[in-house]
A and B are shown apart, each in its own frame.
Chain A
């Protein structure tokens, strides 16, 4: 009971493990490229929770700064990935990742 009512490091690690699992599941099972991107965002959020949790219980600022940079990289990644998805849609008229099998139009 003590374990459950006192919020500690393990609680945050549990949430991030679930988010990572769900993100991997989305990346692996979905055919729609946009849902695959959502899975990648879930994985990045899981990593961020871990960084901040370890940073809080360690007392340093390294994890916080890393989390900030991860958010910036995630924004850049989402923009580029969406641009690529839009190009794929223009060429193939669908965003089904399993039907995209050639490098040329």
Chain B
């Protein structure tokens, strides 16, 4: 792939990510937000491929799009009656919110662009990293790996317990 095509595809995915993220935030309809979030997650997954983190990109698609987004859509459908006219979500603190958005983004961009100390390493990540992730998971990160699996199990049991329906007789 030539350098120019690479750049064009990068900007395409960057535009998809940022524009759909803006749409998630600025549209009033909750359903539109949820579906726009789908494009954000896919755009972010494509950026992960650009960052040569292919395994993380696949995980992003499986976990975010297949899991979290479905959960969020379930939440939207459960808490809004679909038959009822548009699912509007009201907005408050719009002026402080916009100031915060501009302030935080501007400050971060200013810091990033005025820091001249970014010196990329000689050995940047190249190619597929699946094998290296396997080695790291089973050597240096084996304790966090086991802990996070227990945390996930506990969280899912807790979520099922919290969201259960009470029996009618009680």
**A→B interface (CB under 8 Å):** 5-15, 17-26, 28-32, 34-35, 37-39, 41-42, 45, 48-49, 52-53, 55-59, 61, 64-65, 67-69, 71-80, 82-87, 89, 94-96, 98
Contact = CB atoms under 8 A, between A and B. Distances in A.
A57 B118 contact: yes
B44 A45 contact: yes
Contacts of A22: 21-22, 24-25, 101
Most chain A CB neighbours (cut-off 10 Å) among B53, B78, B144: B53
Contact of B129 (A18, A32, A64, A71): A64
Main secondary structure of the interface of B (DSSP, over half): helix
Contacts of A30: 89-91
A72 B146 CA distance: 12
Given A28-B96, A71-B59, A87-B163, A21 B104 contact: yes
Interface of B: 3-4, 6-7, 10, 14, 17-18, 21-22, 24-25, 30, 33-34, 37, 40-41, 44, 47-48, 50-53, 55-56, 59-60, 63-64, 67-68, 71-72, 74-76, 78-79, 89-94, 96-98, 100-102, 104-105, 108-109, 112-113, 118, 120-125, 129, 132-133, 136-137, 140-141, 144, 148, 151-152, 155-156, 158-160, 162-163
A50 to B, nearest CB: 10
Contacts of B75: 34, 37, 82, 85-86
Given A25-B97, A45-B41, A53-B51, A20 B24 contact: no
Main secondary structure of the interface of A (DSSP, over half): helix
A76 to B, nearest CB: 4
B51 A52 contact: yes
Q: What are the 7 closest A-B residue pairs judged by CB atoms, nearest first? A: A76-B155, A32-B89, A21-B105, A83-B162, A29-B97, A83-B163, A17-B108
Given A57-B120, A71-B64, A79-B156, A65 B133 contact: yes
A55 B125 contact: yes
Contacts of A23: 21, 25
